[in-house]
Amino acid sequence: MNRLLELERSVTDEKQRLVRRHSLKARRKRQPVGYAIPLGAPDLKLRERVPSKAEVDVVGAMKKKIRRTDPEFKDLEENTNADIVFKDEEKTGADRMMTPRLCQGLNKLATAVKSAWSGVKLRVTEAWDEDNEHSGASLHYEGRAADITTSDQDGDKLGHLARLAVDAGLDWVFFEDERHVHVSVARG
């Protein structure tokens, strides 16, 4: 009787081992090669930063406040993506101006937002800033940072929006407050 129990137990153990091994394999398969951050990672919490370091250590410090008359202004791109809503508070089109790297990241994020929530778009409330609206060395002045929400301005979506931003390859993502997520990129 005891032997039978023992046998049953070892069969169960073996079964569990196989199930574990299979799910581990399946998990590895789902993850694309070279993808550093696991897919399906949790949404960001309020005040969380990814990576969890100072912004300056991840994307580099601001060098110069770019003005329209500066030669560097020509290096900024105008983002004309129809899948992004631009707040354009200043009515100058400044929010559409950004470095090519930020442009690329936001465009990728816009696609992800569209498929995450139907009828909802990515919304940019600030990108390049020429009006000294940010703190001293803000990367907004170089067009390397953007403040984002979803078009429905639903604060409950921000944690997931921040996760999508990380997955879209934006270099530094900060769930800054209940009203917006701040993202920034390295130079280039």
CB of 109 to Zn ion, least distance (A): 15
Judge whether 102 and 146 are in contact, CB under 8 Å: yes
Site string for Zn ion, 23-42 (x = CB under 5 A): --------------------
Among the residue ranges 72-80, 81-89, 102-110, 142-150, the one whose residues contact Zn ion (CB under 5 A): 142-150
Among the residue ranges 28-36, 79-87, 114-122, 143-151, the one whose residues contact Zn ion (CB under 5 A): 143-151
CB of 164 to Zn ion, least distance (A): 17
Among the residue ranges 43-51, 73-81, 139-147, 154-162, the one whose residues contact Zn ion (CB under 5 A): 139-147
The C-alpha angle with vertex 44 and arms to 38 and 45, in degrees rounded to 5, equals: 145
Nearer of residues 83 and 176 to Zn ion, judged by Cβ: 176
| Rounded-to-integer distance, Cα 69 and Cα 64, Å | 13
CB of 35 to Zn ion, least distance (A): 27
Contact call for residue 182 and Zn ion (CB under 5 A): yes
Q: Which residues contact 30 (CB under 8 A, 6 or more apart)?
A: 39
Among the residue ranges 104-112, 115-123, 163-171, 180-188, the one whose residues contact Zn ion (CB under 5 A): 180-188
* Alpha carbon separation from 185 to 23, 63, 74, 146 (Å, rounded): 35, 14, 18, 9
| Rounded-to-integer distance, Cα 139 and Cα 128, Å | 8
**Which residue is nearest to Zn ion, using beta carbons?**
182
101-120 binders of Zn ion (CB under 5 A): none
| Rounded-to-integer distance, Cα 179 and Cα 188, Å | 28
Cβ neighbours, 10 Å, residue 25:
10
Among residues 55, 95, 142, 147, the one that binds Zn ion under rule CB under 5 A: 147
* Residues of the shown chain interacting with Zn ion in the complex, contacts defined by CB under 5 A: 147, 182
